[in-house]
A and B are shown apart, each in its own frame.
Chain A
Amino acid sequence: MSIDFIGVNLQLLDGFKYTLILFFATLAAAIPLGLPIAFGSMSRFKPIRLITRAFVWVIRGTPLMLQVMVVFYVPGLLFGMPFKSRMAAVIIAFIINYAAYFSEIYRGGIESIPVGQYEAGQVLGLTKTQTFFKVILFQVIKRIVAPMSNEIITLVKDTSLARVIAVGELIMAAQDIVSVYGLLWPLFYTAIFYLIFCGVLTLLFGKLEKKLDYYRG
C-alpha cells in the first residue's frame, strides 16, 4: 500500500479536525467557566474559598493526561456508566483543567487592580456590579491577555494528549499512517500544523495586545 503527499495531508487534516474541535470547545467553555472559579477562590466565605482553592490545586497539581483518563474511565468503573464518546470525555477533562488554569490568571488580574478603582466607583455611586463591568473588567482583560495567550498556545499542543484514550487527533492520525503505510515522516510533518496554528494565534494575540495598548496603567 502506498500514499502520496496529498493523501497524507488529507488524512492528517482529518485528525486536525478533532484537534480544532477540542481546542475551540475547551476555549468556549473554559474561558467563561474560569470566572466563577476565580470568584470562588477569592470568596470572603471561607469554605467556598478553601474548596475552590483545593480544587484548583488538585487540577494544577496532577497531569492533564491523568485527568483525561480519570474522566474517561472512572464513571464506568464506579457507576457502570462508561462514556459513549471518547471525544466528549476528553473535552470535559480539558474544560475542567483549563478553567482551573484560567481562573488563576483571572484571579491574578483581578487582584492586581488597585483598590482605589473600586473606591472611586463606590464614591461615584456605582454599584459593585456596575464598577466591575464598567471599570474593572476591561483593565483585567488588558492585564491578562499576555498570560492567557501563553496558556492558549499551550492548549494547542496539549490537544495531542487526547490520543491517550484513542481520540483520533492529529498525532494519532499521523501514527495511523506510520503503522498502515510504514512511513515515518508524516509524524514529524505534523509539527507544521501546530506551528502554523500557533503562529496564527500569536499574530492574533499580538494584534489584540496592540489594540488594548491605547492606554497605560
Chain B
Amino acid sequence: MAILEVKDLKKSFGKTEVLKGISFSLEEKNVLAIIGSSGSGKTTLLRCINMLETADSGLITVDGSAIFDGDSDEKLTAQQKLENQLKIGLVFQSFNLFPQYTALENVTLAVKAHAKSRPDFKENHKAIYKEIDELGMSLLKKVGLENKANNYPCQLSGGQQQRVSIARAMALNPKILFFDEPTSALDPELTGEILKVIKSLAAEKMTMVIVTHEMAFAREAADRIIFMDNGVIEEEGTPEEVFDHPKSERTKAFIAGYTEV
C-alpha cells in the first residue's frame, strides 16, 4: 500500500485556484521529485500536505490514516494533530533554523519538547536528554557536521545550515520527508553538498518528496517524477518516461528549456 496518497486536492487563494485537483501516490522507500515552473503550485502542494495551509477539498492519507479529509468535519484533537504532524517532515527552502540555538540544539529542541510528555520523563529526564543529544549528534554526523554541533546558524555557511535543518527534520523520525527547493537559496557551489546528503538518505531508503529545479539530480535520485503545470499534474512517470519520452507538449517544452541552458 502507498505510504502517501493525495486525492483530488484543491486549494484557492481568494479567487485564484492554485491547486486544481491534485492526485498522486507514493510508495514507501521511494523518492518522488516534483518539477515545474515557478508559480505552478509546488510549494502550495507541499504546504497543504504539511498542514501549513489548509486545503479546500480532497483527501491526504499517510500510512493508511487520513491527515486531511475535506469531506469530514470531524474535529481532530490536539494529540491527533500532533501525531499527524510528526508523520511528515519538511525542509524549507530558506532553512528557518532557530538563530539563538546551536546546530545541536536546533536538532534536539523539538525532540526534547516532545519527550516531556513521556510517562517516564520525570524520573529519567537526564538519561532521556542524554539519549536525545546522542541522537542529535549521530544525525549531525550523518550530514557531515559533527564538528559544528556547537556553532550557531550565523556561523555556518548556507549549505551547512541546510544540512542542519535536514538533521532537525530527521530527528523526529518522520515517515516521509519533504523538501521544498532545498538548494534554491544556496550559491551554486554549495548545492552539491545538499544533494549528496539527500542521495545518502535515498540510499538508506528514506521516503522523500523533493521539489527541485535540479533536473540532473531529479533524474538520478528519484524513482518517480511529477511535472506540475498551472495547478495540475501535467505528467507523471519514471525519470526515463518524463525526461526522455515526455508525452505532453508542455512537459517537452519545460524540459527542453532546461537542457538548453
Q: Mark A100-136, 1 if CB is under 8 A from B, else 0.
A: 0000000000000010110111111111001000110
* A119 B52 Cβ-Cβ under 8 A: yes
Is A61's CB within 8 Å of the partner chain B? no
* A119 B96 Cβ-Cβ under 8 A: yes
Choose the segment among A46-54, A70-78, A175-183, A209-217 that binds chain B (4+ C-beta atoms closer than 8 Å). A209-217
How many B residues, CB 8 Å from partner? 27
Residues of A within 8 A of B169 (CB): 123-124
The docked-state distance in angstroms from the alpha carbon of A123 to that of B94 is: 14
Interface residue SS majority, chain B: mixed
The listed residue (B78, B90, B96) touching A117 by CB distance below 8 A is: B96
* B52 A139 Cβ-Cβ under 8 A: no
Is A157's CB within 8 Å of the partner chain B? no
The listed residue (B51, B89, B94, B109) touching A134 by CB distance below 8 A is: B109
Q: Size band of the A side of the interface?
A: 20 to 34
Interface residue SS majority, chain A: helix
Q: Which residue of A lies closest to B174 (CB)?
A: A123
Residues of B within 8 A of A123 (CB): 50, 52, 85, 88-90, 169
Is A142's CB within 8 Å of the partner chain B? yes
Q: Mark B41-54, 1 if CB is under 8 A from A, else 0.
A: 00000000011100
* A122 B52 Cβ-Cβ under 8 A: yes
Is B217's CB within 8 Å of the partner chain A? no
Residues of B within 8 A of A142 (CB): 100
Total inter-chain residue pairs, C-beta < 8 Å: 59
* B92 A116 Cβ-Cβ under 8 A: yes
* B152 A215 Cβ-Cβ under 8 A: yes
Q: How far is the CB of B194 from chain A (nearest CB, A)?
A: 17
* B52 A217 Cβ-Cβ under 8 A: no
* A116 B99 Cβ-Cβ under 8 A: no
Residues of B within 8 A of A126 (CB): 110, 113
Is B224's CB within 8 Å of the partner chain A? no
Is B114's CB within 8 Å of the partner chain A? yes
Residues of A within 8 A of B99 (CB): 139, 215-217
Is A55's CB within 8 Å of the partner chain B? no
Most buried by B among A117, A124, A138, A142: A124
Q: Mark A191-217, 1 if CB is under 8 A from B, else 0.
A: 000000000000000000000001111
Q: Which residue of B lies closest to A121 (CB)?
A: B110
* A122 B153 Cβ-Cβ under 8 A: no
Most buried by A among B82, B92, B96, B168: B96
Listed A/B pairs (10) with beta-carbon separation below 8 Å: A116-B96, A120-B92, A123-B85, A123-B88, A123-B89, A124-B168, A125-B113, A139-B100, A215-B153, A217-B99
Q: Which residues of B contact A (CB under 8 A)?
A: 50-52, 78, 82, 85-86, 88-90, 92, 94, 96-100, 109-110, 113-114, 152-154, 168-169, 172
Q: Which A-B residue pairs are the 5 nearest by beta carbons? A: A217-B99, A124-B110, A116-B96, A120-B96, A216-B154
